[in-house]
Amino acid sequence: MLLRKIKNDIIKKMAHIKKVVSINSLSNPTEAQDRILRGAYFLCDAVKQTLGIYGRNFLLEKGLKITNDGLNIAKEITLNDEIEDLGLRIAREAAVKTADEAADGTTTALVLTQAILKEIVRLMPGKNLTGKKSILEIRKQVNAEKEEVLKKLKEMAKPITSKEELIQVARVAVEDEKLAELIGSTQWGLGSEGSIIPEESNDAEDSIERINGIRWDNGFGTSQVVNNEEKQRLEVENVKVILTNYTFEDLNKIKPVLDSLIQSGHRKIAIIARAFTQEAIKLCIKNLEGGIEIYPLNAPYVNQNEVMEDIASVIGAKYYNQENSSLEDMHISDIGTAKKIISYRSSAIITGEREGAEGMITNTRIAERIEKLKKSVKGEESIFAKKMLENRIAQLANGFAICKIGATSDADRKYKYDKAEDAVGAVKHALREGVVPGAGLATKKIAEGMPDTSIIKKALIAPYQQIMANAGEIFEIPEWVKNSVKIEMTAFMHACDVALNLATAGGAISSERPKSLDKLFNGRNETEN
């Protein structure tokens, strides 16, 4: 009994210990760095096999899913060595951040990360301290070259001038001509401010459904409401929505209307507000755990009042502005209805009905809202403000489209869904910012004009070389292969930043206690006194 007590006491104490698991030493100046790099390279070596139209697919145990999506694969890889795993996780950030900002380009980001990292490490002080450049010099030069490459990519970009061009951009990402045509032509019809939302369907064929909707730059009030772990987002359908710019310290002021909603059978409620205190968030989560789903969402950052009125027109709600209305006056008829809400930490999409009787009412409200905004455009002198207004009008007028991904099997459906998400991001950014030559040709061309003293010159050719290596044969890249300049710039930018962070790490600290203490007690009888 005594031994068991001792074991439990040790476990409790070690749970709070932060231990240094790897540091560089005098005998081996790169000990920690070597382990960090091994983890980063392992991830990059695995994922880069998927790059290009001849890239390999991976079978993921989780969900029995077949994919060549770089981010999905990267998220599933872990290493037993704690320090190697830290290196892997840092490298993975290049893909995660690229996906968050551009929706595609995750594999390219990791290929560039590894290539840039190798070039930096080659110049750094090694075991014999014979490096040619200091860490400070390397960081300064890489950052300067990064800005120059980003500038050249922007200058190289050409606008999309036809629906056919946009379809070709989608084709590169989705690898399915019919789905590419569906996504490309739909985005062309929606314009640069309209958005496509991929959705899995039980049908055998792909289809498009047009809906009303608004996107804004803010998201959920707490990650505790995330219900899609893979995408790290909240997804909820047929939800009642309260709109206000009040800050919630608790839910007392809207309790009467919440009770009315619940009594009417509504158990999914979203509150879009200026902010939520921790106490208010706790109350939302407590209700969520009890089967009543209350989702705290943060109101838009920019033009908050105006955009909230846009949202109100889409979902049939009344916007409670604290300047001229009181929450105590809120009635159940003031609550809007969202067909779907998709929310990340820093962005969200809300959609309303477009068809049927409810859709007709919504369409009328949207038309009235558009006319009001058009009058504002005429009276606006600021070019920037006028452009913002025009973008909001375009979003209200064109709405969103649900791209329903169909297939004859679950595995094929999931595979197509991942590709569709990439294609949706690619066409939207292409229409907004323009395109550059795809398949790594853009950065390859830039590299050819850089001096031999450049640190990242060779690294810029890596995506093109990897695509060719994956093909396994010499082939000519078609002229129509183009990629969004936004994706290219985002992938490269994060690759540079992550590579610098990895290269300059000279030690690592783990806060995890040993996975098991069983070895300490092997061969001993826990019932001993």
Per-residue pLDDT tens for 317-331? Answer: 999 999 989 999 999
Would 520 be classed as within a structural domain? no
* pLDDT on residue 523: 42
Q: Is the pTM of this model over 0.85?
A: no
Would 293 be classed as within a structural domain? yes
Per the structure, the count of domains in the chain is: 2
Q: Which of 29-38, 86-95, 160-169 has the lowest mean pLDDT?
A: 29-38
Would 7 be classed as within a structural domain? no
More confident residue, 127 or 144: 144
**335 in the same domain as 223:** yes
* pLDDT on residue 412: 84
Domain boundary among the residues 303, 322, 353 is at 353
Please give the single-letter amino acid code of residue 160. Answer: I
Give me the CATH number covering residue 347. 3.50.7.10
Would 521 be classed as within a structural domain? no
- The Cα–Cα gap between 471 and 56 comes to 10
Domain that includes residue 306, residue range:
211-353
**226 in the same domain as 129:** no
- pLDDT per position as a tens digit, 158-181: 999 999 999 999 988 887 889 999
Would 460 be classed as within a structural domain? yes
Q: How far is CA 458 from CA 134, 444, 445, 452, 472, in A?
A: 20, 9, 11, 9, 21
**39 in the same domain as 126:** yes
**113 in the same domain as 225:** no
Strands (E), 148-304: 195-200, 207-216, 234-244, 247-248, 268-273, 275-276, 293-298
Average pLDDT over residues 424-444: 90
Single out the residue of 378, 429, 373, 415 nearest to residue 396, CA to CA: 373
Would 199 be classed as within a structural domain? no
* Coil/strand/helix, residue 276: strand
User: How many residues comprise the chain?
Assistant: 529
Collect contacts of 51-55 with beta carbons under 8 A, ≥24 apart. 51/107, 51/108, 51/111, 51/463, 51/466, 51/467, 51/470, 52/439, 52/466, 52/467, 52/470, 52/471, 53/172, 53/175, 53/471, 54/467, 54/470, 54/471, 54/472, 55/107, 55/467, 55/470
**444 in the same domain as 332:** no
Average pLDDT over residues 276-293: 86
* pLDDT on residue 352: 86
**150 in the same domain as 221:** no
Give me the CATH number covering residue 69. 1.10.560.10
Q: Are 24 and 441 in contact (CB under 8 A)?
A: no
Count the neighbouring beta carbons within 10 Å of the beta carbon of residue 57. 14
**221 in the same domain as 150:** no
